[in-house]
Amino acid sequence: MGDQQRIPVMVPWLGEAEAQAAADAVLSGWVAQGPRVAEFERAFAERVGAAHGIAVSSCTTALHLALVALDLGPGDEVVVPSLSFIATANAVRYVGAEPVFADIDAATGNLTPDTVEAVRTGRTKAVVLVHQGGVPADVDAVAKYAAEHGIAVVEDAACAIGATVNGRSVGDGSLIAAWSFHPRKVITTGEGGMVTTDNAAWADRLRRLREHGMNASAAQRHASDKPILESYLETGYNYRMTDIQAAVGLVQLAKLDQVVARRRSLAARYHELLDGVPGLSPVRDPHWGTGTYQSFWVLLDEAYPLTRDELLAALAEAGVSARRGIMAAHLEPAYAGHPAAPLPVTERLTRDSLILPLFHTMTEEQQDRVVAVIRQQATG
């Protein structure tokens, strides 16, 4: 099958408006973190219902800063799902704390109060609640449970820009949340991330930490008519976003509702077309919210005649790029020897699920081709 007809798993929806915005930023002469980053932070925080947004270079760096804001360090345990992109667990190691893997709920792929409780110890200080693949976790239940045990909740909302919980945006009412603008996510700036929080003191500190711990930003010094002698208050990082990225982000953010609506309507069409295929369960919204379908995964069981890897091969043969399901960090060499409780649901999901193509410009004809392969293999 030729490359032209190959159906990709994901394509970001970028166009002339993003190209023009990037060009305008370049031509303005201000390309590093500046006024466009500040504007993107305000617009993004407002969209997700948070008081403050701190733009950074990725969701990975956003997670790192969120854990620094909570003053976590050696001796502290942070509960994370193993079923997540590995950055979720790695960020805990960055601050010297111990990631503790918890199992997940099979329907949503997310942590629940029960799965966290199964691994909680006296040293548990925080939980990183991932909205996996854009499926909203039961934030209210986890936040209530965490409050009862003095545990902080950091939300990894990398895939959940535009998801809702009980009628509110994910991020609205969060203690602290981390977001991604990688091209594989809902909206993109090439690379990029954001921290959101209602806590003004944390926001001030994280704004400094992303720029080497400096007490005055380049933009503040530029705007001042008197020389500002900066000082460096603590060991910081260079986690800045550029104004070129933020310019693209502002255009993407304005398209967010359209992007999410399109993803949800393609997902609904997959649900219809895949209905009744034996041994195959597609991801769905939980009863408490609406997801982004950043990853449209299907879980196979014994009633489906092929294994996950066999179905991936059949799809590839037919020119369809699917992907294995979400990874499990505890199975990777980076976590070899790291203690972990049994994680049966995590291991089943990572072994038996796959992610189907779903992108803004996907046509019905392309979607029909994906489903035809799955149905054909199901009937032998």
Ligand X SMILES: *Cc1c(COP(=O)(O)O)cnc(C)c1O
Residue ranges that bind ligand X, judged by CB under 6 A: 58-60, 84-85, 87-88, 130, 156, 158-159, 180, 182, 193
- Least gap, CB of 156 to ligand X (angstroms): 5
CA atoms within 13 A on the CB side of 204: 6
Are 161 and 186 in contact, with CB atoms under 8 Å apart?
yes
At 189, list the tokens: 């700036």
β-bridge partners, 56: 193
Are 178 and 158 in contact, with CB atoms under 8 Å apart?
yes
- Least gap, CB of 269 to ligand X (angstroms): 24
Nearer to ligand X, 119 or 128 (CB): 128
Nearer to ligand X, 178 or 277 (CB): 178
Q: Pick the catalytic residue: 144, 185, 226, 255?
A: 185
State the burial class of residue 170 (Cβ atoms within 10 Å of its Cβ: 0-12, 13-18, 19+).
Answer: buried
- Least gap, CB of 91 to ligand X (angstroms): 8
Nearer to ligand X, 158 or 300 (CB): 158
How many other CB atoms are found less than 10 A from the CB of residue 113? 18
- Least gap, CB of 155 to ligand X (angstroms): 10
Nearer to ligand X, 84 or 164 (CB): 84
- Least gap, CB of 62 to ligand X (angstroms): 7
* Residue 125 a catalytic site member: no
Edge-to-edge strand ranges of the sheet holding 280-282: 280-282, 296-300, 353-356, 323-324
Nearer to ligand X, 106 or 219 (CB): 106
Are 186 and 134 in contact, with CB atoms under 8 Å apart?
yes
Residues with Cβ within 8 Å of residue 34, at least 6 apart in sequence: 218, 219, 222, 243
Are 353 and 326 in contact, with CB atoms under 8 Å apart?
yes
Mind telling me the catalytic residues? 185
